[in-house]
Structure formats: C-alpha cells, structure tokens
Amino acid sequence: MCDSVIKLALLVVIGLCLGGAAPEAVEIDVTMVDYRFVPDHLNFQHGGHYRLHLVNKGKHTHEFTAPVFFASAKIDNPEVLNREHTEIVMQPGETKDLFLTPGAPGTYDLRCSDHDWDGMVAGITVL
C-alpha cells in the first residue's frame, strides 16, 4: 500500500513539473536603422510569452522607448532595460533579447527617445 502511494505521489509531482513548464516564447524581431524601426508596428496577444529580439543596424545609438508598455508587462529579464525600466538602449551593431508577457490589451507608443523628432516612432498593440 505504501509503495503504491509513493508511486502515485511521484507521478503527480512529475506531471506538475512537466505541465508547469513555461511555454515557448514567440520571437518578434525588430531592427533599428537610422531613423526607423522595422517593422514599425508590433502586435502581441495578451498573456502570450514573447522574446523581443532587437538589433541596431544603424550608425547611431538608438532607444526602444515604451514606458507604458513596459510598465504593464511582466518582464522576465529586466536587466536589459535601463534603470527606470522605460527603454532599452542599443549601441550600433548591438543585439539584445527581452523576454516578456504583455499586460493589458490596448495600444502603446514606441519611439526612439533620441530620434523621435526625425520620425523614429512606431506602435505596439496588445490584443
């Protein structure tokens, strides 16, 4: 009897461990060039898990600035963000990944805080 209880408990633990694994992150690629984001609009599903893969192919430092979006999201690796958690600073040639789960559905502004005056703006939609 005791042996059966132990086996059943072990099966339950294994099932919980396998079923509780994090879902595979959907990759979204964003390239920064002088002076635009490619693509210029990002779509996320509320509650989905994403890997935001950023590449700066420009000649200048660029920022992926989205303070309201970042504040509403669950960020798995916040060390990628700046100290205020409002943007990701990207040096020329740099690549960074941010793992996140978007928060509330809605539309969010995205811009390069240094080059928004020159049209380096985009948008984010969480469905």
pLDDT in tens, 40-56: 999 999 999 999 999 99
pTM beyond 0.85: the answer is no
55 to each of 47, 62, 105, 123, how far by Cα in Å?
24, 10, 26, 17
Task: Look at residue 2 and tell me if it is in a domain.
Answer: no
Is the pLDDT confidence value at 8 over 50?
no
**For residue 7, what pLDDT is reported?**
43
**Under 8 Å CB-to-CB from 33, ≥6 apart: which residues?**
57, 58
Domain contains 84: yes
- For residue 30, the domain's CATH number is 2.60.40.420
User: Binning pLDDT at 50, 70 and 90, where does residue 11 land?
Assistant: very low
Quickly tell me which residue has 């040096």 as its tokens: 91
Domain membership of residue 16 (yes or no) is no
**What pLDDT does residue 3 have?**
53
Number of structural domains in the chain = 1
In a domain, 75, yes or no: yes
Q: Would 94 be classed as within a structural domain?
A: yes
Q: How far apart are CA 118 and CA 39, in angstroms?
A: 17
Task: Report the C-alpha gap between 52 and 49 in whole angstroms.
Answer: 10
Closest CA to 91 of 60, 124, 119, 67: 60
- Rounded distance, CA 52 to CA 39, Å? 12
Q: Is residue 113 part of a domain?
A: yes
Mean of the pLDDT values across residues 93-116? 96
Asked, for residue 92, whether it belongs to a domain, the answer is: yes
Flag whether 29 is in a domain. yes
For residue 61, the enclosing domain spans 23-126
Distance of alpha carbon 121 from alpha carbon 35, whole angstroms: 9
Mean pLDDT of 70-97: 97
